[in-house]
Amino acid sequence: MPHRITVLGAGYAGAYAAGRLARHLHPDDVEITVVNAEPDFVERLRLHQLAAGPDLRRYELAELFAGTGIRLRPARVTAVDAERRTVTVTGDGGPDRLDHDTLLYALGSTVADHGVPGVAEHAFHVAGRPSALRLRRRLDEPAGNGSVLVVGGNLTGIEVATEIAESRPGLDVTLVTSGELGGWLGPRARRHLLRAFDRFGIAVHEHTTVERVGATGVVAADGTAFASDVTVWAAGFAVHPIAAASGLAVADDGRVLVDRLMRSVSHPGVYAVGDSAHAIGRNGRPLPMSCASAGATAMQAVSAIVGDLTGRRIPKTTLAHLGNHLSLGRRDAIYQLVDGEERSRSWALCGRPAARAKAAVLRVAAFGMAHPTFGMPTRRYRLAAEPDRATEVVAA
């Protein structure tokens, strides 16, 4: 009987890992199933563009996985039983249970409401394709006029605010943040950011914590009311509670606790990647939720799974956060390098060159879903007669 590998989630981490596994393990020895709520690969880094403008190019997972032997199961994961090695899903055919020998957990993250009343009922977000489309429909309603309030001064909040301001100039855009807008950036990058906000006419309210969200705006902790026709919540991300309920050991934020090789610290045969994994980076801190972390953790997990099943040595992938890349509309951007302690360096790439660089990164990321080895030759290894969990690790 083939060794059953189930991959939960087909985002940047899950889809990439599944494709690499299919190209490194012999098809006679393994059966790889990918469970994803949508039939398409969603470019999450472009969802702010989808919310503000036209449809993006579709990448059907069935087409991306064509010829790999991967079985795609369009369904929503509702539960994971780590002890019994089962996953409960709900799709068009109703609920079903999938058994596995190896599980790769890559369910990603969603918007974090931080317990603020009214977020679920009244706010919009761009943490998923359905929610981004819902926001776009709402933005279409004011017929080119109205006000938009973005809550959150992080990367997503900045990208949403500038994208809407550029794509829909008739809307008044305001951003509210609990900290200092772009306070983590180096001096040059922050000056560029503030000039972009001035150019777009985006009003900014710093050091303002939102305490409640209503149908017509928000109320800050100091009692200040901010009116808006549309409120976009971009105050960070949180993982789905499925991992915590599965029996897997998780961190305080619900991410799966993993070792250096992305193995669950509590359950052999379970690996976690991307936003779902509490992985410690080269600087001794948890990797941030990001596309860059998705790629690094996925590559490391694939190496570990292949090594554990075939007995081969497991190379170590560098786990480091190198910088922040944020769009300021379609023709402007910032790439801010960070040091080993994730502090912004003085150098940053700004303007059109940074925008072109980010566009190239997004194209490469999408290309990597269908070509996870990026054209390099691959070899499909046979499984060991009795696979053991490999312990030998070598530097890449």
Q: Last residue of some domain: 179, 199, 233? A: 233
In a domain, 89, yes or no: yes
pLDDT confidence band for 37 (50 / 70 / 90): very high
Number of neighbouring beta carbons within 10 Å of residue 26: 14
Contact of 248 with 236, CB cutoff 8 Å: no
- Give the mean pLDDT of 66-77: 95
pLDDT at 378: 73
pLDDT confidence band for 314 (50 / 70 / 90): very high
- Alpha-carbon torsion (124, 245, 37, 65), positive or negative: positive
For residues 130 and 160, state if they share a domain: yes
For residue range 141-173, what is the model confidence (pLDDT) as tens digits?
Answer: 865 579 999 999 999 999 999 999 999 999 999
pLDDT at 69 over 90: yes
Task: Return all residues near 229 (Cβ < 8 A) that are at least 6 apart.
Answer: 142, 146, 147, 148, 216
pLDDT confidence band for 396 (50 / 70 / 90): very low
Q: Is 99 exposed, middle or buried (0-12, 13-18, 19+ CB in 10 A)?
A: exposed
C-alpha 11: how far from chain center:
7
For residue range 264-282, what is the model confidence (pLDDT) as tens digits?
Answer: 999 999 999 999 999 999 8
Q: In the predicted model, what is the mean pLDDT of the chain?
A: 92
For residues 99 and 116, state if they share a domain: no
- Alpha-carbon torsion (95, 101, 106, 110), positive or negative: positive
Contact of 5 with 309, CB cutoff 8 Å: no
Q: What is the largest CA-CA distance in the chain?
A: 67
For residues 126 and 82, state if they share a domain: no
pLDDT confidence band for 189 (50 / 70 / 90): very high
For residues 66 and 160, state if they share a domain: no
- Give the mean pLDDT of 62-77: 94
d(CA 267, CA 272): 11
Q: Which of 341, 347, 361 shows the shortest CA–CA distance to 291?
A: 361
Q: Last residue of some domain: 188, 209, 233? A: 233
pLDDT at 394: 44
In a domain, 77, yes or no: yes
For residues 13 and 126, state if they share a domain: no
- Give the mean pLDDT of 43-72: 92
Contact of 235 with 114, CB cutoff 8 Å: yes
- Give the mean pLDDT of 357-362: 92
Q: Is 347 helix (H, G, I), strand (E, B) or coil?
A: strand
Q: Last residue of some domain: 233, 259, 282? A: 233
For residues 144 and 24, state if they share a domain: no
In a domain, 314, yes or no: yes
Structure tokens at 61: 């997972």
For residues 314 and 188, state if they share a domain: no
Number of neighbouring beta carbons within 10 Å of residue 378: 12
pLDDT at 311 over 50: yes
- Give the mean pLDDT of 367-388: 77
- Give the mean pLDDT of 89-111: 95
For residues 74 and 177, state if they share a domain: no
pLDDT at 375: 66
d(CA 376, CA 11): 22
pLDDT at 143: 59
For residues 74 and 158, state if they share a domain: no
pLDDT at 124 over 60: yes
- Give the mean pLDDT of 98-110: 97
d(CA 315, CA 252): 29
Structure tokens at 225: 């009311």
Contact of 140 with 53, CB cutoff 8 Å: no
pLDDT at 365: 86
In a domain, 180, yes or no: yes
CATH code at 261?
Answer: 3.50.50.60
For residues 129 and 228, state if they share a domain: yes
d(CA 74, CA 76): 7
pLDDT at 129: 94
Beta bridge pairs of residue 133: none
pLDDT at 56: 86
Give alpha helix (H) positions in 330-371.
Answer: 352-370
Task: Report strand pairing: 59-60 vs 256-257.
Answer: unpaired
Domain count, the chain: 2
Q: Which of 282, 279, 281 shows the shortest CA–CA distance to 239?
A: 279
Structural domain boundaries enclosing 222: 111-233
Q: Is 289 helix (H, G, I), strand (E, B) or coil?
A: coil
Q: Specify the range with the lowest mean pLDDT, choosing from 179-193, 195-209, 310-324, 376-390.
A: 376-390
- Give the mean pLDDT of 109-114: 95
For residues 103 and 251, state if they share a domain: yes
d(CA 346, CA 190): 11
